[in-house]
């Protein structure tokens, strides 16, 4: 089974450069969590992954200024696996929407996939 949280919008002060730390930027976060339910038909919240809890943890992490997006995706993926024992695999992607690069049109993103060992 898979739970997805898509296009979560956060404003944050992530980045290496002083301008990024002062002005901030808009970020999009996409998450996919694959899990194996312990029952054949999921009909109770405690039999699945509560996406409200996932969102709240992502918000907490995204609210903390961090120099690298690579650090953020790792923290989010690892925390989801820690918090949700039934999670088998997590994919996290963070997109920085506006880069402070002259003439750069587009966005950039960093992604990670973690599999429970």
Domain regions of the chain by residue span: 2-115
- Tokens representing 78 are 């690892």
Which residues, in sequence order, are CB contacts of 89 under 8 Å at separation 6+? 33, 34, 113, 114, 115, 116
Give the pLDDT score at 52.
Answer: 97
Q: How far is CA 74 from CA 19, 23, 91, in A?
A: 24, 24, 10
The CATH architecture annotation of domain 2-115 reads 2-Layer Sandwich (3.30)
Question: Does 57 participate in catalysis according to the annotation?
Answer: no
pLDDT of residue 21: 86
Question: pLDDT 10s digit of each residue in the chain, 117 long?
Answer: 999 999 999 999 998 888 888 889 999 999 999 999 989 999 999 999 999 999 999 999 999 999 999 999 999 999 999 999 999 999 999 999 877 777 878 889 999 999 998
Pick the catalytic residue from 22, 59, 96, 98: 96
Model pLDDT, residue 43: 94
* pLDDT score at 58: 98
Residue 61 near residue 76, CB atoms below 8 Å: yes
Backbone angles phi, psi at 27, to 5 degrees: -130, 145
Residue 52 neighbours by CB under 8 Å, 6+ apart:
none
Q: What is the DSSP letter of 116?
A: -
Total residue count of the chain as it appears in this document? 117
Which pLDDT score is estimated for 19?
80
């Amino acid at each position: 089974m898979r739970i997805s949280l898509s296009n979560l919008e956060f404003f944050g002060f992530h980045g290496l450069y002083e301008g990024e730390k002062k002005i901030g930027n808009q970020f999009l976060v996409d998450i996919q969590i694959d899990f194996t339910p312990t029952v054949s038909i999921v009909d109770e919240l405690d039999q699945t992954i509560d996406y409200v809890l996932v969102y709240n943890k992502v918000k907490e992490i995204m609210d903390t200024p961090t120099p690298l997006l690579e650090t953020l995706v790792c923290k989010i993926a690892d925390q989801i696996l820690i918090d949700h024992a039934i999670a088998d695999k997590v994919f996290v992607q963070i997109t920085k929407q506006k880069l402070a690069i002259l003439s750069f049109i587009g966005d950039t993103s960093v992604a990670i996939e973690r599999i429970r060992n």
